Amino acid sequence: MFLSFTATLTKAWSFFLILWLTSCLYVSGEYHEHETEVKDFFQRNGSSTHTNNWAVLVCSSRYWFNYRHMSNALGMYRTVKRLGIPDSNIILMLADDSACNSRNKFPASVYANAGRNLDLYGSNIEVDYRGYEVTVENFLRVLTGRLPESVPRSKRLLSDSNSNIFVYMTGHGGNEFLKFQDSEEVSAHDIADAFEQMWQGGRYNEIFFMIDTCQANTMYSKFYSPNILATGSSLEGENSYSYENDHDLGVSVIDSYTHYVLEFMENVNKTSRLTMGDLFTSYNVPKIASHPGIRSDLFPRPLGGGEALHDYGRGSGWRHPGEWVGREQEKSKKGSEALITDFFGGVVGVDIEEDTSDAHHTEASSDSVPKERTKAEKKGVKASPYLAQRTTKTRSWINLKELRAWSSFLIVGLLVGLVWARQS
Amino acid sequence: MSKRVVSAPHDLTTSSGFILPALVAARLALALLQPFDLTHDHHLSSPLTSYANLQEGIYLFKQDIDPYSGGIVRHSPLYLTLFTTILPNSRFSAALLWTLCDALGAYAMMNIYRARQGIKTSSRDGLVAAMYLLNPYLFLPSLALSTSSIENALVLLSIMFASQRKPSQTLLVYAFLLHVSLSSFLFLAPLLLLLISEPFSHLASPRAFSGDFKKLPPLLGEFAVCFISLTMASTLISGGFSWIGQTWGASLTLPDLTPNVGVWWYFFTEMFDHFRPFFLMVFSVHLLIYIAPICIKFQYDMLYAIFLLAGILGTFKAFPTLSDPGLFLSMISLFPETYPYLRYPIVTSLLHLHAALLLPLFHHLWLSQGTGNANFFYASTLVFACANGAAVIDCVWAGLRIAIGEEKEGIVIAQE
């Protein structure tokens, strides 16, 4: 009796062993499939693949007569906030406090135009680095993330490999340097190395670098990391000029390059599809009084801007040739164009493009919607193919979890049936 | 054999046949009416038995997410197996299912009583069934759809099959029970011993163990086969082995400190981390140390041993609900021969009444009204533990005292 019992035991054991092994295979296969789907979602070619936006706005000069540098930075801050980047994602560095300066006839306000129409200081701004905290060391530490543990989160650039970062710098500069606080300077090599450290550490997806100083274009000439788009206000050997004075304040209130950039930005809202190329083609050299430059050879996506961008730096209006490093590569670039909102806003403009036939089948009903839709709606429609694709994929062959549930129930039922049948 | 055969005060033979169906129908009506929502009550369900957590597990499973990757679902995957395949998953079907479990429990208790008395039907059947169905400690958690009612039904079914000498059924039902609640490990030894001995009452005439130990290994082997195949079924449906740590591991590591009517949770809220493993071990071993002494002492009446271990479990379990001591209290109805020998049944009943009033009161005062604190509720759980302890101790006393017999004139029974 004992021998027959062991025989039935081994038979039962082998059956269950096979069942268990197949279940392990199913389990491992399913896990792998999930991983590749998730990876695909985040690595699609040809569209901006950022998931969050950051901005680092630096005014590097102090003293009352550099009022305009602070209002440059604050103007950019206001625009960036208006277009959707929250305070938690903005690092604002102001080397001096012109709002509470004893020479300020309008205390607690900073204006960027001659009629003092818009107060940029207000009651809802968050300055992260103020006064003497704005140093070259702090700036480079913020970029690379190598800060001591005691530094609070609001003073950290907590970007990841899916972050698009807008870096804006203004102050007094020269050939490959920028002056900080009238006592030290940061060189173009330092910033280039900092960006490379960020790239190696996976701290950015794309960087848009804008600089408004004298001889600004030299500051971006040393970059060597991928996915950086840079623009500056003046060529090597050229000064950048301020825009206008306010007669009551007694100082220049804004720089002309920044003024025209901000004026262009007033036409941009969260859902607009204006491209970086549109921004660059809006540069008006006689008005700005200097020659802005572009560097796009490190940037993989096309800039947009249409035909007008082809004449950049060469057409009438350019007193002498403007600078565009990367002009030749522009024609051969593929993918979706770089939008203003990619750097200045949120992720509203990020497309989730599907190019598999499955999605077209499931999206057939939604293809017939009219073209005049807002960005958010479009994203909503386009987001659903991802889910639709997932469910179609799992339905096209056996639904795994149901199989597992029913086979598990089968084992249980088998046991109950066996015991019932024996009736011993 | 005790002289005092307990007989019913009046003839219940004609009416007892109707009691079970009538009570079940009343239970069903109450469940379908659902006058209050008791599902989230801390006394009636614990993190291991809560209906809300079960629904969470089923939902996560249906969304292709591993239910055991978080810390909410602590139900056995066998519940998932049943609820995602053949059993419908709605409040209405849950009311039916839980009523069915109660009915099964009452039916099992009736049959255990009949097997113990050795008769086919008896006049006390209805009373025994009513003791199970009318016990508020049992029907309230059942109305709250706490899976502890299912556990109780499984306990009683396995004891019924053991009393009726049906080893395969016993072991299968017990394997289910062990999967669903790890604390029922306490019942393994006495159930097996009951299978190889007999359920008749030998409390009044103790003797050495009457079963044949040679029959144990095949029973253990059959139990192992059932248990391991259920483990495989659980692994298959949950797609991994994480369920083991989340379900059985919960009783051993106490990850969830939600208040309940037991004594573990408060102790571990105020415990330093480096003492935690030690005290978890102490509390778990505390449950295990009762098995051997009770089984050895009551080796002539294993059914009584199971009854006492149910009482121990109800008092000292990791995540108890009211059903666990409720099971013990209802099972008293199976041992009428001990009633004359209980020393302080009134005190025990009053303690239970006291605890039953204090528990919801202090819980409300602490968590709803906010004028009390956790110590209030903890004190009421201590009173409840006191009541349960008093009941267990009194039953142990009665079980042993009955062997000595009635007191005679002029003779004093003293303990050396």
Provide the phi-psi class of A289: left if phi over 0, else alpha when psi is between -120 and 50, else beta.
left
pLDDT confidence band for A10 (50 / 70 / 90)? low
Q: Which of A419, A420, A424 to mutate to test the interface with B (most CBs of B within 10 A)?
A: A419
Residue of B nearest to A10 (CA): B225
* Rounded CA separation B140/B157 (Å): 20
Question: What does the pLDDT look like over A129-150, one tens digit per residue?
Answer: 999 999 999 999 999 999 999 9
Region B164-171 average pLDDT: 93
Residue A120 in contact with residue A67, Cβ under 8 Å? no
Q: For residue A198, is pLDDT > 70?
A: yes
CA angle (A294, A299, A304) in 5-degree steps: 70
For residue B251, being part of any structural domain is answered with no
Residues forming a β-bridge with A244:
A254
* Rounded CA separation A254/A343 (Å): 22
Q: For residue A101, is pLDDT > 60?
A: yes
* Rounded CA separation A408/A398 (Å): 16
Provide the phi-psi class of B181: left if phi over 0, else alpha when psi is between -120 and 50, else beta.
beta
Residue of A nearest to B232 (CA): A20
- Cβ distance B77 to A408 less than 8 Å, yes or no, reads yes
For residue B194, being part of any structural domain is answered with yes
Domain extent, residue B316, equals 19-244+258-415
- Cβ distance A20 to B232 less than 8 Å, yes or no, reads yes
- Domains in chain B, number: 1
Residues of A within 8 A of B169 (CB-CB) are: 419
Residue B302 in contact with residue B295, Cβ under 8 Å? yes
For residue B80, being part of any structural domain is answered with yes
- Cβ distance B233 to A411 less than 8 Å, yes or no, reads yes
Question: What does the pLDDT look like over B176-224, one tens digit per residue?
Answer: 999 999 999 999 999 999 999 988 888 888 888 888 889 999 999 999 9
Q: For domain A48-379, which CATH number applies: 3.40.190.10, 3.40.50.10490, 3.40.50.150, 3.40.50.1460?
A: 3.40.50.1460
Task: Give domain limits for chain A.
Answer: 2-43+399-423, 48-379
Catalytic residues of A: 172, 214
Taking CA atoms, B331 is separated from B158, B353, B395, in Å, by 14, 18, 11
For residue B308, being part of any structural domain is answered with yes
Residues forming a β-bridge with A339:
A275
CA angle (A261, A262, A264) in 5-degree steps: 65
B236 touches chain A (CB under 8 A): yes
Residue B99 in contact with residue B141, Cβ under 8 Å? no
Average pLDDT, chain A: 82
Q: For residue B146, is pLDDT > 60?
A: yes
Tell me the nearest-neighbour CA distance from B189 into chain A, angstroms.
Answer: 21
pLDDT confidence band for A387 (50 / 70 / 90)? very low
For residue B5, being part of any structural domain is answered with no
B232 touches chain A (CB under 8 A): yes
For residue B252, being part of any structural domain is answered with no
Question: What does the pLDDT look like over B305-341, one tens digit per residue?
Answer: 999 999 999 999 999 999 999 999 999 999 999 999 9
In chain A, residues 380-419 whose CB comes closer than 8 Å to chain B: 394, 400-402, 404-409, 411-412, 414-416, 419
- Cβ distance A2 to B80 less than 8 Å, yes or no, reads no
Q: What is the ipTM of this complex?
A: 0.83
Residues of B within 8 A of A419 (CB-CB) are: 168-169, 172
**More confident call, A229 vs A383:** A229
**More confident call, B130 vs B71:** B130
Residues of A within 8 A of B228 (CB-CB) are: 16
Long-range CB contacts for residues A77-80, cutoff 8 Å, separation at least 24: A77/A120, A77/A125, A78/A120, A79/A262, A79/A265, A79/A344, A80/A55, A80/A166, A80/A344
CA-closest candidate to residue A277, choices A245, A303, A301, A298: A303
B224 touches chain A (CB under 8 A): no
- Cβ distance A422 to B64 less than 8 Å, yes or no, reads no
Q: Which of B66, B79, B82, B229 to mutate to test the interface with A (most CBs of A within 10 A)?
A: B229
**pLDDT value at position A29?**
52
Region A80-106 average pLDDT: 92
Q: For residue B5, is pLDDT > 60?
A: no
**pLDDT value at position A314?**
83
- When mean pLDDT is compared across A4-8, A50-54, B138-142, the lowest value belongs to A4-8
pLDDT confidence band for B225 (50 / 70 / 90)? very high
State how far Cα B90 lies from the chain centre: 26
**pLDDT value at position A381?**
41
SS (H, E, C) A265-316: HCCCCCCCCCEHHHHHHCCCHHHHCCCCEEECCCCCCCCCCHHHHHHCCCCC
In A62-191 the beta strands, taken as DSSP E runs, fall at 90-94, 129-130, 163-170, 172-174, 177-180, 184-187
Residues forming a β-bridge with A232:
A211, A293
Q: What is the largest CA-CA distance in chain A?
A: 111
Question: What does the pLDDT look like over A314-362, one tens digit per residue?
Answer: 877 787 788 899 888 888 888 888 889 889 876 666 665 555 444 444 4
For residue B271, being part of any structural domain is answered with yes
**pLDDT value at position A359?**
40
**pLDDT value at position A421?**
85
Q: For residue A375, is pLDDT > 50?
A: no
Question: What does the pLDDT look like over A22-39, one tens digit per residue?
Answer: 665 555 555 555 666 666
**pLDDT value at position A17?**
66
* Rounded CA separation B281/B26 (Å): 44
Tell me the nearest-neighbour CA distance from A418 into chain B, angstroms.
Answer: 9
**pLDDT value at position A345?**
78
User: What proportions of chain B, in percent to the nearest 5, are helix, strand and coil?
Assistant: 70, 0, 30
For residue B7, being part of any structural domain is answered with no
pLDDT confidence band for B70 (50 / 70 / 90)? confident
